[in-house]
Structure 1
């Protein structure tokens, strides 16, 4: 898939290539790579550059074997990330709908919790990944909206199917959207258009307008297992 407009930062790509991301962030990145040819090519470049650095760095006698082993690992990714689109497999069933999932998520199929309803015609299912960040599937029904909010930490959203919009842009499959404490928005779907996303939060949301502000004392509901 090539119609991806929002991508991880260069720093995040570099940390992924170096194996320096936490498990939940690595899952998000792996899923994004199955949609985005440009980021796959960038990862290939980064891994190649790491291999060159290792090969050009003089090694102490006791570490020669380790350097050679690391070089081989970096030069042979566990999964090919070539220029051809990677096929997407696995199905997530919700109500009467079926959604095809990236392989990175299909591997965690047994770690997906039950679906629950949130305000605004939105459903959520927790994904157990370990660590402090909370990963959730978020399903937005057609003509639904999440109240306007900001973030007490970092929020990463990966669109898996459908489309949603906010005050800043329209987001489709493969888009990797990063929101911080500086961002404020109200995600919504249009009539006849639903959306399935994967989200990663390291702190609860903070609602900023209307009656939704009354939910702030209970914002842990958006962050708990």
Structure 2
């Protein structure tokens, strides 16, 4: 894998460390951190600062029953959380979001496929499969879009993005991401609002594809 050159902004790492980042974006950030030593080190620094702040805060009174309530939970049945590891091009956080299953690809046309991992009021996260040389229709954004490359690469008006690179697109960016030659481009993409397509056909099919 070539060197990662597009990273997570510091403010987004701070929100992720604090647990305030929406779920869809958290899946992408966690996946990037699993691939990027630089952002992993930065995240650990944020977590250390957060821990120090908690330790320095004044003590807070708790109920007299708190200790007994905690001890009572020791008798509750214990169900260990499954541990998801990397599988192929998919990092552990992606496998966790998929709940251990393989991607279920659905065609978007022109060889492009997607698997919607989750979708809700706060946003959606999906896998995209783009054949070499194929472009995603020209679009802008109603909100924020994070795109993490898991295999291959793509290029648009802002540059080239390879494995591990994270593109962050906001309302100011209109672009036409195109998979580069070579192996198919597989991306993990998260949005907090529907995209804005310029062409009529993508706009017509947008509710069906939930993009």
For the aligned pair, the TM-score class normalised by the smaller chain equals 0.7 to 0.9
Alpha-carbon distance in 1 for matches of 2:123, 2:43: 24
Please, which runs of 5 or more residues in structure 2 have no aligned partner? 67-84
Which position in structure 1 is the counterpart of 2:78? none
| Structure 1 vs Structure 2 CA RMSD | 2.5
> Structure 1's 44 and 142: CA in aligned 2 closer, same or farther, altered over 3 A?
same
Describe the superposition over 1:15-64 as per-residue Cα deviations: whole angstroms up to 9, x where unpaired.
1111222222221111010111111111111111112222222224449x
Alpha-carbon distance in 1 for matches of 2:10, 2:104: 35
- How far did 1:5 drift? 1.4
Describe the superposition over 1:64-111 as per-residue Cα deviations: whole angstroms up to 9, x where unpaired.
x9xxxxxxxxxxxxxxxxxxxxxx7213xxxxxxxx210111123346
Which position in structure 2 is the counterpart of 1:48? 48
Alpha-carbon distance in 2 for matches of 1:112, 1:128: 14
Alpha-carbon distance in 2 for matches of 1:166, 1:101: 23
Which position in structure 1 is the counterpart of 2:77? none
Contact residue 152 and residue 180 of structure 2 kept, 8 A: no
SS in 2 for 1:184: coil
Contact residue 156 and residue 177 of structure 1 kept, 8 A: yes
Contact residue 147 and residue 186 of structure 1 kept, 8 A: yes
Contact residue 23 and residue 129 of structure 1 kept, 8 A: no
Contact residue 2 and residue 162 of structure 2 kept, 8 A: no
- How far did 1:131 drift? 4.7
> Given the two structures, how large is their TM-score scaled by the length of structure 1?
0.75
> Structure 1's 31 and 6: CA in aligned 2 closer, same or farther, altered over 3 A?
same
> Given the two structures, how large is their TM-score scaled by the length of structure 2?
0.80
Alpha-carbon distance in 1 for matches of 2:208, 2:192: 13
Which position in structure 1 is the counterpart of 2:179? 189
SS in 2 for 1:34: helix
Map 1:87-126 → 2, pairs under 5 A = 89-91=86-88, 100-110=89-99, 114-126=104-116
- How far did 1:2 drift? 7.3
